Amino acid sequence: MSSSNGASVGFRSAPVCKFLLGSAIGSSFLLKFPLKQHQSYFIYTHNQVFDKYQIWRVLTSKLAFLDLKDLFVCSILIYYFKIFEKRLGSRKFFSHLLGSGILSILLELVCVYLCRVFEVPLQPLPTGPLCIIYPMFVPFYCDIPRVALSHIWGVPMTGKSISYILGLQAASSSPESLLVALCGLMAGVLWRVNFLYLQSVIKVPHCLARLCNSTIGRLFNTADIYENKNHIGATLEIQRQEAMERLEQQVIWRSLQNSRGTNMGRHQPQNLVDGPGIFGGVNNNGQDGLRQRLEEDLEEAEEVSEEQVQQMVEMGFSQDQVRHALHMSNNDVSMATNFLLQQN
C-alpha cells in the first residue's frame, strides 16, 4: 500500500485521544516505578471519602492506572475510540468526555455510599480514567456499523467484537471493576439521552479550545497527510464500514433482480447480517458472507472505465485490485476506494 493508506492509522486528527493515552501511560509508569511510594494518594475507599472527607482522592484516582493490565486494555480501547474524536471534532469530543466522566464519577460515589450504608464489603476501586472510557461504549454500540469479518465456531465476528471483549475483560476482573463499568455505561446512556440537558450545559468554551490548541495542541496534533474529497462518513473507519454494508446491499438487490429475470435457476445468497451489537446474524447457507457474494456477482458487473482505473492506480493500488473493486461497486470510485482500503 502507498503512504496514503498509512495516513488512516495512528492519531491523525485525534489530539485529545493522543494526549489522553500519553498522559495515562506516562503517569502510570511513574507511579509504578520511580514514584511507587506515592501510590496511596491515587486510591480511595468509602471511609476516606465519607468519613475523612478526602474528596480529592476521587479525582486523583482517575489520573493513572495502578494495574498495568487495565492500562494495556484501556490503551487499546482509547485507540479504537479515537474514531469519535475524528467524527465529532476535538472540542465536542472533549465535552462528551467531560460530561460523561462527571456523570460516571457521581454515579460511582452514589454506589460506594450505598455499599457503605448497607455494609457491603468493598475494596478500593480500580484506578485510571475508566470513567471516560466505559461511557464511550454506548455511542460505539449505537452509532458504529458492524461488518462481519470472520466466523468462530460458526458465529460471525465483526470489527467491533474485539472492543467488547476487551471491555468485558477489564470489567470482569473484580466486583469493584464491574461496579465502575456499570456506572460508566449508565453515564453514557444518560449523556446520550441528554439527561437534564447536560449536553447544553457542559461544553468546552471556544476560547479555551483555541487556547489549548495553540499551546499544548501543537505537541499532539498530527499532520493530515491524506484527504479524500468523496467522504462517505465523517471518518475513514466509518467510511470503510459503511461502504462494505452498502456494497452488500447492492449485491443483494442485484441478486433479487436476477432471481426475477433469466437467472431463476441460480441459487442467490441472502443478507443475514442485521442489527447492532457484538455479532452479526448467522449465515444460513453456509457461505462466508459478503466476500463470497461479491465474487459470485462479479460476472454481472458493468465494464470499468479506464480513466477511473488509471486514477486509482495512481493512488497505489494494482490494476487487478482496481478493476475488481470497480466491478463490485459499479464504477463508483469512492466506494471502490474504500473497499480497497478495507482489504489492506
> 213: buried, middle or exposed (CB in 10 Å: 19+, 13-18, 0-12)?
middle
pLDDT of residue 344: 52
Confidence (pTM): 0.65
pLDDT tens across 229-246, in order? Answer: 444 444 555 555 555 555
Average pLDDT taken over every residue of the chain: 77
Top-confidence residue, 107 or 295: 107
Dump pLDDT digits (tens) for 177-191: 999 999 999 999 999
| pLDDT cut 70: percent of the chain above it | 68
- Classified as helix, coil or strand, 231 is coil
Please tell me the predicted confidence (pLDDT) of residue 268.
43
pLDDT: is 215 or 294 the higher one? 215
pLDDT band at 125 (very low <50, low <70, confident <90, very high): very high
Residue with the larger pLDDT of the pair 179 and 159:
179
Q: What pLDDT sits at residue 167?
A: 94
CA distance 219 to 132: 22
- Rounded to an integer, the average pLDDT of 307-316 is 74
pLDDT score of 239? 56
* 283-311: average pLDDT: 57
Higher local confidence (pLDDT), 98 or 343: 98
Cell of 174: 473484580
What nine digits make up the cell of 195? 439527561
Domains and CATH numbers, the chain: 8-220 (1.20.1540.10), 236-343 (no CATH)
Q: What is the pLDDT of residues 20-75, one digit of tens each?
A: 999 999 999 999 889 999 999 999 988 899 999 999 999 999 999 999 999 999 99
Nearest Cα to Cα of residue 4 among 319, 316, 339, 332: 316
pLDDT of residue 253: 53
| Cell (9 digits) for 258 | 436476477
Strand-pair partners of 156:
151
Which of 112-116, 240-244, 282-286, 311-315 is predicted most confidently?
Answer: 112-116
Give the total residue count for the chain: 344
Which residues share a beta bridge with 157? Answer: 150
User: With 50 as the cut, is the pLDDT of residue 271 above it?
Assistant: no
**Predicted pLDDT of residue 274:** 42
| Contact (CB, 8 A) for 177 and 126 | yes
Q: Is 2 helix (H, G, I), strand (E, B) or coil?
A: coil
Range with the poorest average pLDDT among 6-10, 55-59, 222-226, 306-310: 6-10
Q: How far is the C-alpha of 265 from the C-alpha of 259, rounded, in Å?
A: 8
Average pLDDT of the residues in 203-227: 77
Of the listed ranges 96-100, 130-134, 262-266, 323-327, the one predicted with least confidence: 262-266
